[in-house]
Amino acid sequence: MGDNFALRLKFWGVRGTIPTPAPSHMGYGGNTTCLEVRSSDGVIMIDAGTGARQFGTHLQNEFNGANLNLHVLMTHFHWDHIQGLPHFAPLFSPGNKIIFHSSRPPEQIRGILEGQMSDPYYPISLNYLPAQRDFVDICSNPFRQFGIAAHPFPLHHPQSATGYRLESKGKVITHASDLEHGHDKLDKTLREFAQDADVLIYDAQYTPNEYSSWKGRGHSTWLQATRVARDSNVGRLILFHHDPNHDDECMTAILGEARRHFENTDVATEGSEIAL
């Protein structure tokens, strides 16, 4: 895509809840959430679902022995957003530095990530991995790296989650997953942070019909996504955090429905890239 961009986005994992490595799902992707965001000066990662394994291998090949400083923005710590971390190759290389940012206190971030790799859940402790690891509360330590400013905002989700408005050279990507609509204050906050974004990535796990059975589980619908996109004057809407029961045929049908309400809509697809 060349180097003439302010922000470049790539999807390495797009699925919610649990990986779905079934042939019927692979057109859009079966890995859980992981995104790459680059400026011309560096790269950051959002979440560490199973898509992080392939992304980590890609980074190791790209840097080819050179030390890597990677900033990871965590939305929250439910398993589908962290389960790729034990297989993230840059953590196994001395000289690399991985900085985890979250809206939680640093020691809490450390404890959560170490917990999923502790006995009896995993044979290798996070503490044994040779890469340097730092943990940062993004709410008290504003993120400005590689010419990218990341502005966190709260999302309506069980045990809380954090959205991010990413800005670089006048271009904006708003990442809003995981969230459930219906909280007046946080719905308003979301629209403020999505205002005039070039790209809005939005949790659209359920169809409107499905939502009535899953209300309270912390996820939204493609219809609500189109409303937020329209209200916030975004340039492009990307439906994200696909339900494990939604195969490729279902996702294509959802895309068609969503485009009737907001024309410039796409479905997040593993391997797809957007340059701004």
Environment class of 99 (CB within 10 Å of its CB; exposed 0-12, middle 13-18, buried 19+): middle
DSSP 66-101: S--EEEEE-S---GGGTTTGGG-GGGGSTT-EEEEE
Question: How many structural domains are present in the chain?
Answer: 1
Residue 235 lies in a domain: yes
CA distance 24 to 67: 39
pLDDT single digits (tens) 178-223:
999 999 999 999 999 999 999 999 999 999 999 999 898 999 999 9
Which 3 state secondary structure label does DSSP give 180?
coil
Name the residue with higher pLDDT: 212 or 270.
270
Residue 2 lies in a domain: no
Which of 27-41, 54-68, 228-242 is least confident? 54-68
User: Which structure tokens are listed for 115?
Assistant: 């917990």
Residue 76 lies in a domain: yes
Residue 3 lies in a domain: no
pTM of structure: 0.96
Q: Cis (ω within 30 of 0) for the bond into 120?
A: yes
What CATH number does the domain containing 29 carry?
3.60.15.10
Phi first, then psi, for residue 85 (nearest 5°) are: -60, -40
| Nearest Cα to Cα of residue 173 among 14, 70, 46 | 46
User: Which structure tokens are listed for 70?
Assistant: 């990677």
Q: Rounded to 5 degrees, what angle do the CA atoms 11, 219, 18 make? A: 55
Residue 1 lies in a domain: no
CA distance 156 to 177: 10
Q: How many Cβ atoms are within 10 Å of 196's Cβ, its own excluded?
A: 10
Q: Which amino acid is at 44?
A: I
Question: Over 50: is that where the pLDDT of 155 sits?
Answer: yes
H/E stretch holding 188 reads: helix 184-194
CA distance 230 to 79: 31
Instruction: Tell me which residue range forms the domain holding 157.
Output: 8-275
Predicted confidence band at 150 (pLDDT cuts at 50, 70, 90)? very high
Answer yes or no: are the C-beta atoms of 122 and 85 closer than 8 Å: no
Residue 271 lies in a domain: yes
pLDDT single digits (tens) 234-261:
999 999 999 999 999 999 999 999 999 9
Q: How many Cβ atoms are within 10 Å of 94's Cβ, its own excluded?
A: 9
Residue 113 lies in a domain: yes
Residue 259 lies in a domain: yes
Distance of CA 211 to the CA centre of its chain: 22
Percent of the chain with pLDDT over 70: 99
SS (H, E, C) 207-249: CHHHHHHHCCCCCCEHHHHHHHHHHCCCCEEEEECECCCCCHH
Instruction: Please give the C-alpha separations between residue 256 and each of 132, 250, 264, in angstroms, as whole numbers.
Output: 45, 10, 11
